[in-house]
Structure 1
């Protein structure tokens, strides 16, 4: 009698508890939980101390600079965790048994790549480059690309072991050898894999010289959309650097035949927002850092960049609008650029509209461009200033000064306001308060 009561009591203890809504709550066995996250382990691994953790949790622990076992506090003899296949199979079996309760079976995880395996593949890529074995190199690069896409952990391991430098060197080697047409397949594959490794370090960028730049421009001018997108992202990575070598890269790019035309075409016929932003950023670096920027600005103006930038800014998203205004601001440093902007009917409406509408940066750039255009027109008949008054620039600038802005922008806005005020008597400006004259004021 007593034994049967004990059995019933044990059965009640093992019985699954129920929520208030009637749903069954399953208790995950303690040995299946990660000691760090306390969640069901998806990829159990065992450390040199004999304790099993979920791979993601223990890797985060080690990456944070900890080299001891979280439970035992013993120093780890090895940082390479070993898959615990027994626990993993037990967890999968438990999941299958409880699938009727909504438990999904965890997939068998792939063993992540090791530093030794990465080094081996990269050394083989170097050998293939020396032999000019494009086919063999492409197969190895595809393997690296596949492994990097498999998991974030693999990608970190590949990048840490210097894949960016090896791939940059390979791209440079095959862009020099023979002709781009003969190596287009391997170059395209290297470039698409290299983009996964961004941002590149200074050493990796150093491998890419003039021939690599010409190859990227050739890709940018070709009809393949994916190739053009990858090429402009590659160019953006090359010129977007704070290193002293950046100006040299920009100079090489600006002097590469067909570069300006290819970038203009990409902005005019956009592929995607990412490529448009990248193209605008590259153009911005060319017109601000290049030693031949006046020549490049003249070329852009002749291509029709000013009206294109204004049209792009009309309904563009914030990031594209800021970059387009940044390029326009750079172009307006030249006489040709200002003249083209002054002659465009969209200039004043777009610039005034963007003030206090998009972002602080867009406001600063709009005021800067407006200041350059109005200042250049003061010696003439002031047609631009009158046009700015007609679209409400006076009220907008006045509001900006009341709201507040950066000191540099404030100085330019004040100058613009003075210039606008000088011409207010030449046209009928409606005071916005006139619309409310009929209302009785309570003060």
Structure 2
């Protein structure tokens, strides 16, 4: 556990997903799925891998932010960090000068997430366990010691957090065995990106249904009549009994969101995701109240800055589905706080995973949530997209529309070095050969 961290490297890795409109939505019309990819080296040879997700341009800014906080990590031992993980989290988020760039939000927080993801990966590898198992095997007080409760004690105290985790010890082994056998339920976003043609949507839905998928999400928000047409097509394809969700990616004002979603109510969506600005807590509350009689919930969180905003969303009854993100928040530490708050407020967690590497990471968190916090699968599912998993050394395993628990030690962050080199921006082969075609978009 000494494992002194001797160096930190970070690289800008981008995939030209915009070429085929993968990931396209009403707000992000031509994303190039990308990561700021962090590697921690130690004096014993063990490495830790971490990343944070972006959509192309600006990844170089996150890389600069990672380099700016590297000095707070290099030179420390893993034992030194994890023995006071709350203190280390606060060290990264409370630097007297860099804190001004956040605090605890934006580019600096994305960078801190990448670094902390690498630290958690290193810890899990040192213990020889996948991250979810590292968390599951922790004592409740040890888990709570990793969380910074500053600013959230009016919603959740340390004592309450310990009590939740202790109570969940009952049945924990049974739930772990259930996950190992059956996996965690997933839904797919890969059939209905906004830029996909009707023909492709129908083909992808047909294939997904044959593979056991029963929960589907469709992107909306650009044009109401087109949304009606595509939602009608989607509902026809998946049938009346399967689950449909809609995702507007922050496209509307509050009144517009209520009106627009009301017009789509006939297609019986379970939720509307990110209907307005991700910062507008009271706006989400108004939308939630207006849509409740229609049986449509509000989901958000992939661009929710930190635990403090999640606290307010929960206090204001502004969302019916919590969507944590493994890279938007301050890594595992801050996600633990949100999982515990969501449980206290009895709001189900359905993680965001639409991006390169996000499925690999967030599966660990939702497994922990079920086994050690919520103990429930009611109205719960984890997002899945089928892009770019081949670039990871331990890619996700999906069986019958369920995430199967990872078995390899670590946080599933490690990418194939060949993939990193070929997709590194701007010098990788993918970006220098004439066929790249999206260089102008990413620059």
Bin of the TM-score, shorter chain as denominator length: under 0.3
Pick the structure with more strand per residue: 2
Q: Pick 1 or 2: higher relative contact order, CA cutoff 8 A, min separation 6.
A: 2
TM-score scaled by length of structure 1: 0.25
Pick the structure with more helix per residue: 1
TM-score scaled by length of structure 2: 0.25
